Amino acid sequence: MRILLSILSVLLPLLQIASAQTTTITPRFTRGQVGLFKLKTTREDNRAGRPTGWATTSVTLRVLRADGTGFLIDWIPGETKFQDPAQASNPIFQLAAKVLRGLHVEVILDASGTFKRLRNRTDLKAKVQLAVDSLTKNLAESIPEPKRQQLLEALGRLLSPNVLTASVDKEVQIYFVLYGMEIERSKPFDGSLSVPNPFGEGTLPSHLRVELKEMEPST
């Protein structure tokens, strides 16, 4: 909660309300509504040897339920593209992107549009584990010993179901912190925030860009 309030305090002053062709992210969802967004996240880490750059992920959002008690949203990450060559060639980044792509993340919001929890967290962890096992097995077969065991241990730490599910959870929460705001079509919303450091403890300064591509029916 403290993290979300901190992010919200940063994002609120940055909002520019558009005069035409805007869509309200929440709470005016209607059942059956489908939205297509692009999320661009820039992570800055100036420590030697640490990848720095931005990644863009397409996201499809489907409203499964909308009533007086709240909303059930199907959040589906699409392809992730990395700008930085170090990230683009990093097997851990690539595997994480492949594991998360196409997952159906069921998000529960309350009646005000505020994030509550992921409904299918247990199922997500099981699917992530199956995907990680399959991908790491194929990767490990192409890497000779003794580097193979070292790689598998690193993948086990960074691509565990708990870590990847928590990553999705944070990304979803960051998006829905924009509750009640309006984004103009083809004009991205930009904000600054801190994100968990995937390489250790603490957070990294980051820039978030949300670009609305399509929302049907429009709000």
> 198-211 pLDDT, tens per residue?
555 666 666 778 88
Nearest one of 59, 84, 4, 38 to 208, comparing CA atoms: 38
pLDDT at 24 over 60: no
DSSP state of 160: -
Mean pLDDT of the chain: 75
- Cα–Cα distance between 61 and 76 in angstroms, integer? 6
- Among the ranges 12-26, 78-92, 172-186, 197-211, which has the highest mean pLDDT value? 78-92
pLDDT at 26 over 70: no
Q: What are phi and psi of 41, to 5 degrees?
A: -120, 125
- Cα–Cα distance between 40 and 57 in angstroms, integer? 6
67 in helix, strand or coil?
Answer: strand
DSSP state of 4: H
Mean local confidence (pLDDT), 41-51: 57
Identity of the residue numbered 184: E
Count the residues in the chain. Answer: 219
- Cα–Cα distance between 162 and 167 in angstroms, integer? 9
Contact criterion met (CB below 8 Å) for 123 and 134 = no
Cis upstream peptide for 217 (omega within 30°): yes
pLDDT at 164 over 90: no
pLDDT range class, residue 50, cuts 50, 70, 90: low
Mean local confidence (pLDDT), 118-144: 85
How many beta carbons lie within 10 A of that of residue 95, not counting itself? 20
